[in-house]
Amino acid sequence: MSDTIVTLPDQSTARIPKMNYLTKENGLLSWLLTGDHKRIAILYLISISFFFFVGGSLAGLIRLELLTPQSDLMATDTYNKVFSMHGIIMVFFFLVPSVPATIGNFIIPMMIGAKDLALPKVNLLSWYLYVAAGILALYTMASGGVDTGWTFTTPLSTHYVNTHVLTTGMAVFIAGFSSIFTGLNFIVTIHKMRAPGMTWFRLPLFVWAHYAASILMVLGTPVLAIAIVLMALERTVGIGVFDPTKGGDPLLFQHLFWFYSHPAVYIMILPGMGVISEVISTFSRKRVFGYTAVAFSSVAIAVFGFFVWAHHMFIMGISNYAVLIFSLLTMLVAVPSAIKIFNWAFTLYKGSITFETPMLYAFGFMGLFTIGGMTGVFLGASGTDIHLTETYFIVAHFHFVMVGGMLMAFLSGIHFWWPKMTGRMYPEKISQLAAVVTFIGFNLTFFPQFILGTLGMPRRYASYPPEFQILNVFSTAGASVLGVGYLLPVLYLTWSLKYGEIAGNNPWQATGLEWQVQSPPLTENFPEIPIVDHEAYDYEWLERQKEKEVASVG
């Protein structure tokens, strides 16, 4: 591997540092009661991976059912429960906490030169809330599930289904608080815990992205909470706020729900965008093109993200004037994302590029997110939304942004920071293969769904007219490839925990502060709090650091 920047220490002599956050204390309790952000991140990593595979297995069931036009694998009722649980688990138990609670939790304090998040106990609490919510969700699933879709649309969810709406609602409610506490913790940490010299414009873009996402978590999630509380009251006591026969307006629920859930899609994508900034810069050895534009576009997405929620309700009966306003604002919120994509592309310009696994995933992200984002604009233009809404076009749109975008970014980030988290490298060749397999599998799965949607195949259908079968067969075939692509990392990353090569402090020669300390890091991250005198992505500074080291050693 001559063209790679991986600089591993001499493997025959290298050893994992004896003292690190993993070895500091032992025993299950030392993990369950830890305040260390890195250990909590690992706890999160394990739990969200578990939920990803639960959600993924449900996706497998969906795709199997859709292999044939009839609902022959399972009854329509079961199918409805399967996709509802798939959506709920994937959104609230996987994607929302995915990058922030794992990578963000692990890396942000290190990036800004802090010993921990500002509120370690709250951090642990938010993991426990997550687990409690997850157990509740699993319990719900085991005891019969819920069939409202992940959107809990009233009056269906309040008056017309008799599945476990309340327990699921409670699970989502609790998971919401977990997310609020994570976001709150990040904001406080980023404001108050930065090392001396770490000014706002020296922060890595990963931190900016998380800052923006955290704002959304703190200000958006409570509205979801109140929406769920009202739904629960409507269902149990029949108070009438969402019941048209009592004078309530079922659309009010959607206003409240989407006031959270649209910003939530940016909660889901912004941290991923942060990962992409780091990865693209590191592997092209170049500072991010237009740092300020990328930083501010994150904030712009967060702010504008609060103004567009009703684009999910274009045909649901909001006023035509509101449609105009929300459609216009949707167009505005799409612009910062485009800025980011082009800034990343130009970061490559005159770089010195290598193609390690994280970079491959990042490339995948850029292509797929562009497709996903542009199709979002199709839906944001009110006219085309009429034809495309509630069809597989939407399903394809959001899987492109969520799976092709965020999941790719998550995998990119996991591979990128794996050496830091564990001190060991993963096997490069097979991981590159996995990246390529996921990319191919992904396109095979979800691209046909755009065509299906244009043809008019409605979403949430257990059975469909036979002429849609061919494309569905492609999609199902793709999902199997995709499943393999996701299974591979689990295998080789686990393998690498024991057999991976020793990574050393900074295998990628990256500039972030987290890379300047040992891997895996000490519990308090830095032996001494660093003083920052350089901007983010300053590769010249990194060179000088190295020379100095060599000088002092020699």
Partner 1 sequence: MAHDIPHEQHFHDPANVTNPEHAEHHIVLPLEYSFVFGTLLLCTALTVFAATRDLGVFNPIVALAIACFKGVIVILFFMHVKYQSNLIKMTVGAGFFTFLVLITMTLSDYISRAWGLW
Partner 2 sequence: MSHISPIIWQFLVKWMTNFALFPPEASKIAPQMDALYFFMVLVSLVGLTIVILLITSFSILYSKKRHPVAVQIEGSTLLEATWTIIPLGLFLVMFVWGALLYFRIYTPPANAMNIYVVGKQWMWKAEHPGGQHEINALHVPTGRPIQLTIISQDVFHSFSIPAFRVKREAIPGRYTSVWFEATTPGTYHLFCTQYCGTDHSHMIGDVVVLTPEDYKKWLDGSTSGSSLAQNGERLFASLSCAACHNTRPDARGPSLANVYGSRLTLSSGQQITADDAYLREAILNPSQHITQGYAPIMPTYQGQISEEGVIDLVEYIKNLDSDYRVQQTTASTTLLPEGEGNTTKAPVAPGANQRAPQGMVKQ
Partner 3 sequence: MSDSTAIAHGTAEAHHEHPPYQRHHFETIAQQNDATNFAMWLFLLTEIMFFGGLFTAYLIYRNWYYPAFVQGSHQLQIGWGTANTAVLITSSFTMAMGVWSAEMRKKGALVLCLVLTFTLGLVFLGIKTIEYSEKIEKHHVPGFHYSVQSFVDPASDPEVYNEYHDKPLALDMARHTELYFFLYFAMTGMHALHMIIGIAILGFMIFRARAGAYTTGHVTFVENFGLYWHFVDIVWIFLFPLLYLINRHPLAH
Where does this chain bind ligand HEA (CB under 6 A)? 53, 56-57, 59-60, 62-63, 83-84, 86-87, 90-91, 94-95, 149-151, 265, 268-269, 311-312, 314, 330, 333-334, 337-338, 341, 370, 373-374, 376-377, 379-380, 385, 389, 394-395, 397-399, 401-403, 405-407, 445, 459-461, 475, 479-480, 482-483, 486-487
Give the three-state DSSP class for 463.
coil
Scan residues 268-297 and list those touching partner 2 (CB under 8 A): 284-287, 289-293
Specify the stretch interacting with partner 2 by CB under 8 A; choose among 21-29, 334-342, 504-512, 520-528: 334-342
Residue with tokens 């409202």: 148
Q: Supply φ then ψ for residue 391, to 5 degrees.
A: -115, -175
DSSP letter for 287, please. Answer: P
Q: Which two tokens stand for residue 22?
A: 């993993």
Specify the stretch interacting with partner 1 by CB under 8 A; choose among 132-140, 141-149, 154-162, 249-257: 249-257
User: Should residue 415 be labelled a site residue for Cu ion when binding is judged by CB under 5 A?
Assistant: no
Minimum distance, C-beta of residue 392 to partner 1, in the bound complex (Å): 28
Q: Which two tokens stand for residue 454?
A: 């244009």
321 contact choice in partner 2, Cu ion, partner 1, none (CB below 5 to 8 Å, kind-dependent) = partner 1
User: Should residue 531 be labelled a site residue for partner 1 when binding is judged by CB under 8 A?
Assistant: yes
| d(C-alpha 198, C-alpha 39), whole Å | 25
Specify the stretch interacting with partner 1 by CB under 8 A; choose among 371-379, 453-461, 505-513, 540-548: 540-548
Cα 429 to chain centroid distance, Å, stands at 25
Specify the stretch interacting with partner 1 by CB under 8 A; choose among 78-86, 131-139, 174-182, 190-198: 190-198
Q: Supply φ then ψ for residue 525, to 5 degrees.
A: 65, -60
User: Should residue 245 be labelled a site residue for partner 2 when binding is judged by CB under 8 A?
Assistant: yes
Residue 458 pairs in a beta bridge with 391
At position 124, the amino acid (one-letter code) is L
Instruction: Find the helix packing angle between 120-142 and 37-65, rounded to 10°.
Output: 20
* One residue of 24, 255, 287, 459 binding partner 1 per CB under 8 A: 255
CB 366 within 8 A of CB 426: no
Scan residues 362-381 and list those touching partner 1 (CB under 8 A): none
Cα 203 to chain centroid distance, Å, stands at 21
Minimum distance, C-beta of residue 430 to ligand HEA, in the bound complex (Å): 16
Give the three-state DSSP class for 502.
strand
Residue 426: count of CB within 10 angstroms of its CB:
23
| d(C-alpha 20, C-alpha 505), whole Å | 12
* Torsion sign (Cα): 29, 33, 38, 40: positive
Q: What is the DSSP string of 396-458?
A: HHHHIIIIIIIIHHHHHHHHHHHHHHHSBPPPHHHHHHHHHHHHHHHHHHHHHHHHHHHHTPB
* One residue of 322, 332, 386, 491 binding partner 1 per CB under 8 A: 322
The pattern of x and - marking residues 440 through 459 that bind partner 2 according to CB under 8 A reads -----------x--xxx-xx
User: Should residue 240 be labelled a site residue for partner 1 when binding is judged by CB under 8 A?
Assistant: no
| d(C-alpha 302, C-alpha 307), whole Å | 10
Nearest to partner 3 of 37, 81 (CB atom): 37
| d(C-alpha 433, C-alpha 439), whole Å | 10
User: Should residue 528 be labelled a site residue for partner 1 when binding is judged by CB under 8 A?
Assistant: yes
Residue nearest Cu ion (C-beta atom) = 262
User: Should residue 3 be labelled a site residue for partner 1 when binding is judged by CB under 8 A?
Assistant: no
User: Should residue 196 be labelled a site residue for partner 1 when binding is judged by CB under 8 A?
Assistant: yes
Specify the stretch interacting with partner 3 by CB under 8 A; choose among 1-9, 204-212, 496-504, 523-531: 523-531
The pattern of x and - marking residues 141 through 170 that bind partner 2 according to CB under 8 A reads ------x-x-x-x-xx--xxx---------
| Start-to-end Cα distance in the chain | 28
CB 177 within 8 A of CB 225: yes
Residue with tokens 């350089």: 534
Specify the stretch interacting with partner 2 by CB under 8 A; choose among 169-177, 264-272, 318-326, 431-439: 318-326
User: Should residue 262 be labelled a site residue for Cu ion when binding is judged by CB under 5 A?
Assistant: yes
Specify the stretch interacting with partner 1 by CB under 8 A; choose among 12-20, 187-195, 280-288, 467-475: 187-195
DSSP letter for 532, please. Answer: -
Nearest to partner 3 of 90, 225 (CB atom): 225
Binding site for partner 1 (CB under 8 A): 191-192, 194-197, 215, 219, 223, 251-252, 255, 259, 306-307, 309-310, 317-322, 325, 528-531, 533-535, 538, 540-541, 544, 548
Binding residues for Cu ion (CB under 5 A): 262
